[in-house]
Amino acid sequence: MDLIVAGHAGQGLQVISRTLAWMLVRAGYYVFLSQDVMSRIRGGHNFARLRVGTEPVYADGDAAQVLVALDPALVERHIPHLAPDAVVVTDAAGTLPEGVNAVRLPFADLAREPVMVNAVAVGASLALVGLDPAGLGEIFSGQFRGKGEEVVRRNVAAAEAGFRAVVEGGKGCCPPKLAGGVPGERVLISGAEALALGAIAAGVRVVTGYPMSPATPIVEYCFRHAQEAGLIVEQTEDEVSAANLAIGAAFAGARSMVCTAGGGFCLMNEALSLAGMTETPLVLCVGMRPGPATGMATRTEQADLLFSIYAGHGEFPRAVLTPADAEQAFHAAQDAFRIAEKYQTPVIILFDQFMADALWTVERSRLRSGVASPSTLVPDSAAIKPYSYRRYEVTESGVSPMVLPGTAQQLVYADSDEHTEEGHIAESAAIRLLMVNKRNAKLAGIRRELAVPKVEAEVKAEAEVKARVKVEVKVEAEGEEKAETLVFCFGSSRGVVSEALKRLRAKGLNAAMVHLNHIWPFPVDAVAGLVGKEKRALTVEQNYSGQLAQLLLQECGVRAAGTVRRFDGRQFTVAEVEAGLEEMMR
Amino acid sequence: MAEDRVWSASAEVTWCPGCGNFGILAALRQALAAAGLEPWQVVVVGGIGQSGKVAQYVGANFLQGLHGRALPHAIGVKLADPELKVIAVGGDGDMYSEGGNHLLHAFRRNPDIVCLVHNNGVYGLTKGQIAPTSGFGFATKNRPMGALVPAFNPLAAGLAMGGSFIARGFAGDMKHLARLIGEALNHKGLGFIDILQPCVTYNRVNTFDWYKERVYDLALEAHNPADADAARARALEWPAEGEVKQIPIGVFYSSRREAYEACGLVERRTANAERRSEGKGRGREVRTANAEPSDGGRGGQRRGADPVSVAKKAIGEFE
């Protein structure tokens, strides 16, 4: 079932959509919640989409059965998003387009206070989908933390009023009620929150940033948990300072992470290069929104892929991770710290705004599998002869033993200049060769750390849902072997592509998906092996120039037979990807 | 401590003979030795320019980073490991031009570090361009029409931004400078010293002799460093334009404003972030002084905090 909640900025849409989503998750459904938000604080037209299923859901639907519109004037523009039998819940005042199946409620009267309108809408929505409002109090307590019990109580009362109004007056126009939810150990979490949580679990100590969508929620989450997690969170004067402060902290031994968006990342490029040269472990969370320049602040895109791979002057090793969803974001943060620390180099977590803002239902056990990154420091620095430590000692792997400044009777030199093994400025050609080779030798090791891309016919439910065998979606061996077309994607496109391929298979068109979650160093051998000589490669990506297709050609000599692209700032819909791929496959 | 052996560089010093930087380097070493610090307890963060090379020459740990970014690096080091003595060193180009924004906010933030600025009024490493502190009309071979805007006044700016320790030294008076650096090292908060540094190659105006004729020591005057108004008046004695008659050196202003790491939440956070190595060699003296146990832990990790369990607890929030 799909639901849409629409209103103006400042009307509390987040409360409605999140509360509904939480109630649904508690009732045992998988929920996927995405937001379409304008870059303004009040007014405008914002909406949230909820996809609800008894199996994991990873993408928006295309035909909603329920629309909750706080203002009837917003209904018309959503008609294309509605199923033919959809029910619209909206205010009693105002006119609606012809033929809309509506439940009209006097929002203001039911709410008693204007700020409670959203609670009325929550109650009404619960009645429509057939969920009991019991338990709302607990969720409102979480939402209105700090506002007191009285506020929670009044909101619950308003929600109950909305619920009763639908039950008593709205009969006969209700959509099919939800059924089949099996409560489990699941949480509803945004991609940004999952990233922050993954970093905390990995043992991050210093988090820096300068506010910019879509990275802001990561820093805010860290601020909220600074005390309990022992974090130092710094909002610096600018992005340049954010990145460099994190480098200073990492040099002194703290696991450090800097959060920004594409524009801020531009300002951090020199620092990125410094981290490469000084071999400082640094994790950068870079959110993609449509550019160039300010572009569209609250929208999504995947156009900074090539930029992230090549950002920073000079040549140095790095890893770029492109998580698909909250669960992958959590693990991306863990992988990033592990790789950054082990190889003493920057790691970029490149995420799209859609992934960060959407809320995903994740099995709790999957988030509990986090591990603090192992330390890669020299175990016994006292065993090193006094004042003889060499920060850039040449080794076969390119990784030098690490000792931190402040170690008794050892000095640590980190130099942005080309340098000797000790870390002193050097101009000799021989030393230059030695150091360039040393730094770049780390790429081979980093490559071994990354996930090997696999063919996936569908997104597998990684859920532990043994009780319900039906949900255990397996990659069909048939589908995999017979698939002559491989569809490559990265970031949040995974869920959409997976569903589109499922629909295509139903039409007899066989294709399999390869989602690149660890995209750089590019998994050349694995991708070349998958495509081989017979298979056809297509890409689905949210940019104008087909950056993933460019990488396939450049890295593997694979020329994509076609690309499905979208670059209007909105997430792909399943129908669009389905249509695009179908056209190329027929 | 054999100060000359310990506080010495393993790198070759590449400044021009007679450069004002030599006096600054010597004063810094003297101050560090006098403070009883061991080289491994100190991190010198250098910018890029002739000045930033000090980081490589002092003989302590160093992070030689980027032009203009020494302050963010230094603040990061200090936040991660408050036990380290951290000194950011750069030139006028570094601190007043490329990194000007960082300096303004560092005055506000007041981290417990020392910031030394080699102010020679000209760009040396890039061969003679004008600097933010070049006097109005100051001309070089590469800028024959001269500086077209008035000079930046770092002391007045620092006072306006709430800096807690604002001083000026002179490379030609090493003893005085070493004493000033010693005071900055002892100061809790940002110990800022603008250092007049003659450039013997590119600045033929502000020479050693030119300075010697004009500088006077504030400590010998009736100047009270706790008086912000008096400090501002002294800071403006060097006019943005026109003839320079006299130049005060010494501590203009010093207040007991709390250092960034010591206020409220941050204090607890940095205490938590105290780092110790798995190795046995780390910071024994310092640790004993703090009467802290020296077990376990690593890189900015707080004692006993298991990040995974913190994260697990946080997941509860999403139920």
Q: Does B212 touch chain A (CB under 8 A)?
A: no
CB contact under 8 A, A407 and B279: yes
> How buried is B188 (Cβ within 10 angstroms: 0-12 exposed, 13-18 middle, 19+ buried)?
middle
Residue A276: the pLDDT is: 98
Helix (H, G, I), strand (E, B) or coil at A74: helix
| Low-confidence winner among A268-282, A385-399, A444-458, B54-68 (lowest mean pLDDT) | A444-458
Q: Do A248 and B45 touch (CB under 8 A)?
A: yes
Most confident of A369-378, B46-55, B66-75: B66-75
Q: Is A333 on the interface with B (CB under 8 A)?
A: no
Residue B61 has pLDDT above 50, yes or no: yes
**Joined tokens for residue B277:** 């190595």
Indicate left, alpha or beta for A557 from its phi (over 0: left) and psi (-120 to 50: alpha).
left
Per-residue confidence band for A140, with pLDDT thresholds at 50, 70 and 90 = confident
pLDDT at A461: 45
Higher per-residue confidence, A93 vs A360: A360
Nearest to A188 among B79, B314, B318 (CB): B318
Residue B243 sits at the chain A interface (C-beta within 8 Å): no
Residues 196-255 of A with CB under 8 A from B: 197-198, 200-206, 225-232, 234, 236-238, 240-242, 244-255
CB A529 within 8 A of CB A453: no
What's the CA gap between A427 and A418, in Å, rounded? 7
Tell me the pLDDT tens digit for each residue of A380-423.
888 899 999 999 999 999 999 999 999 999 999 999 999 999 99
What integer pLDDT is reported at residue B275 of this predicted model? 40
Interface of B with A in 95-114 (CB under 8 A): 101-102, 104-105
Which listed CATH number (3.40.50.920, 1.10.10.60, 3.90.1170.30, 3.90.1150.200) goes with A467-585? 3.40.50.920
CB contact under 8 A, A377 and B278: yes
Question: B251 and chain A: CB distance < 8 Å anywhere?
Answer: no
Please, is A460 exposed, middle or buried when counting C-beta atoms within 10 Å of its C-beta (0-12, 13-18, 19+)? middle
Query: Which residue in this structure is represented by tokens 């991306």?
Result: A332
Express each pLDDT in A23-60 by its tens digit.
Answer: 999 999 999 999 888 777 777 888 999 999 998 889 88
pLDDT tens digits for range B246-304: 999 999 999 998 888 765 444 444 433 444 333 333 433 322 222 232 333 333 333 33
Q: What is the mean pLDDT of residues B85-93?
A: 97
DSSP assignment of A8-43 equals EETS-HHHHHHHHHHHHHHTT-EEEEEEE--S-SSE
Nearest to A368 by CA among A186, A229, A181: A186
| B253-256 contact pairs (CB < 8 A, 24+) | B253/B159, B253/B163, B253/B164, B253/B165, B253/B166, B253/B225, B253/B226, B253/B227, B253/B228, B254/B164, B254/B165, B254/B166, B254/B183, B254/B187, B254/B225, B254/B226, B255/B164, B255/B165, B255/B226, B255/B228, B256/B164, B256/B188
pLDDT at site A482: 60
The domain limits of chain A are 2-186, 189-361, 379-450, 467-585
Identical fold, A2-186 and A467-585: no
CATH architecture of A189-361: 3-Layer(aba) Sandwich (3.40)
Q: Which of A84, A112, A323, A37 is nearest to A199 (CA)?
A: A323
Write the pLDDT tens digit of every residue in A102-127: 888 898 888 888 888 899 999 999 98
Chain A from 403 to 422: CB within 8 A of any B CB:
403-417, 422
Cβ contacts of B81 on chain A, cutoff 8 Å:
252-254, 404-406
Closest chain B residue to A365 measured between Cα atoms? B312
Q: How many CB atoms lie within 10 A of CB A256?
A: 34
Window 26-85 of B: residues touching A by CB (8 A cutoff) are 38-41, 43, 45, 48, 53, 56, 59-66, 69, 71-81, 83-84
Query: Distance (Å) from the C-alpha of residue B273 to the closest C-alpha of chain A?
Result: 7
Only one residue has tokens 């006072």, namely B159
Min distance B139 CA to chain A CA atoms (Å):
30
Q: Using only C-alpha atoms, what is the Rg of chain A?
A: 26
The answer to whether A394 faces chain B, any CB pair under 8 Å, is: no
Domain over A2-186 is classified CATH 3.40.920.10: yes
Peptide bond into A292 cis (omega under 30): yes
Using alpha carbons, select from A8, A24, A136, A129 the residue that is nearest to residue A66: A129
Rounded to two decimals, the pTM is: 0.91
- Is A229 within 8 Å of B66 when comparing Cβ atoms? no
Percent of chain A predicted with pLDDT > 90: 66
Locate the DSSP E strands across A333-404: 346-352, 359-363
In this complex, which of B56, B83, B313 lies closest to A406 when CB atoms are compared? B83
Lowest mean pLDDT, pick from A446-455, B86-95, B98-107, B270-279? B270-279
Tens digit of each residue's pLDDT (9 = 90 or more) over A476-521: 333 455 668 999 999 999 999 999 999 999 999 999 999 999 999 9
